[in-house]
Structure 1
Amino acid sequence: MKLLLTTLILIFNLTLFAQSNAFIGDYNCSFSKEGDHLIEYKLTLRQDGTFVFHSYSKIKNGFPPEVNKYGKGKWTAKDIVITFSSNKQEDFDAKYTLDFNNSKARFITKNPRDKTDRIIKTKLTFVESEIPWMQRLDFFKI
């Protein structure tokens, strides 16, 4: 009986670990107009529960013409919702200025039971954020 219970607990823990690995990776979001504007966002979710975010914008006739913004912190997943947090003492400095506290994103992927030919790209959609331009942005997994 102990062996059966131990085996079931081990299998359950392995499936939990496998599900969290689905979130890990690089995500991109970009907008551009030929020759005029370019806005790129890159989000990296690491296995150790940390993330790094980079925002780059190059706008013709903008002031300043090129802007880089960075953010970092920790992420946690519950079901398909990823919650981001930043510690003011550890995650903020002259380079990392974006505050991801109270930010949440929804993980969207094709359901393994869906046997149709339709293509659904794996992505994160920000549903809540105190950074106004982050809400409703789709970040596609690379």
Structure 2
Amino acid sequence: MKLILITLLVLFNLTTFAQSNGFSGDYNRTFSAAGDHLIEYKLTLHQDGTFVFHSYSKIKNGFPPEVNKYGKGRWIAKDNVITFSSNKQEDFDEKYTLDFNNSKARFVTKNPRDKSDRIIKTKLTFVESEIPWMQRLDVFKI
């Protein structure tokens, strides 16, 4: 009985760990307009359940012309939805100011049963966020 219980426990932990491996990695998105404007978003999901986000914008005639914004915290995945959270005491300082609490993103990838030739890039689509410009933002896995 103990052997069966231990085996089930190990299988459960391996399944949970294997699912997070598909989500973890680097994601980014770049928007540019003829060298005048540049907006970059970079998101890294670590396997230990933490994340780091960097937003960079360089806008010609903007004030200020270059802006860097950072955020960090923890993430958890349930089904294909990733929920982000930030701890006010640990994740915020002078550099990390973006609040990812109440932010959710949907993980989109090609279904393994889809045998068609269409190409679907693996991405995260932010479906909820209190950061206004994060709504409906797609960041692609690299």
Shorter-chain TM-score: which interval? over 0.9
1:100-139 paired onto structure 2 within 5 Å: 100-139=100-139
User: Take 1:74 and 1:5, find their aligned partners in 2: how far apart are those partners?
Assistant: 30
User: Take 1:15 and 1:22, find their aligned partners in 2: how far apart are those partners?
Assistant: 11
Match of residue 89 from structure 1: 89
Any stretches of 5+ residues in structure 1 without a counterpart? Answer: none
Deviates more, 1:15-24 or 1:118-127: 15-24
Q: Scaled by the length of structure 1, what TM-score is found?
A: 0.93
**Secondary structure of the corresponding residue to residue 23 of structure 2:** coil
Query: Residues 1-50 of structure 1, C-alpha deviation per residue, up to 9 Å, x if partnerless?
Result: 65455444433432222111100000001111012100000000001111
Query: Residues 103-132 of structure 1, C-alpha deviation per residue, up to 9 Å, x if partnerless?
Result: 000000111111221111100000000000
User: Take 1:113 and 1:5, find their aligned partners in 2: how far apart are those partners?
Assistant: 32
Size of the alignment, in residue pairs? 142
RMSD: 1.4
1:52-63 paired onto structure 2 within 5 Å: 52-63=52-63
Q: Scaled by the length of structure 2, what TM-score is found?
A: 0.93
Query: Residues 53-88 of structure 1, C-alpha deviation per residue, up to 9 Å, x if partnerless?
Result: 000000001111100000001101111100001111
Any stretches of 5+ residues in structure 2 without a counterpart? Answer: none
Deviates more, 1:8-17 or 1:48-57: 8-17
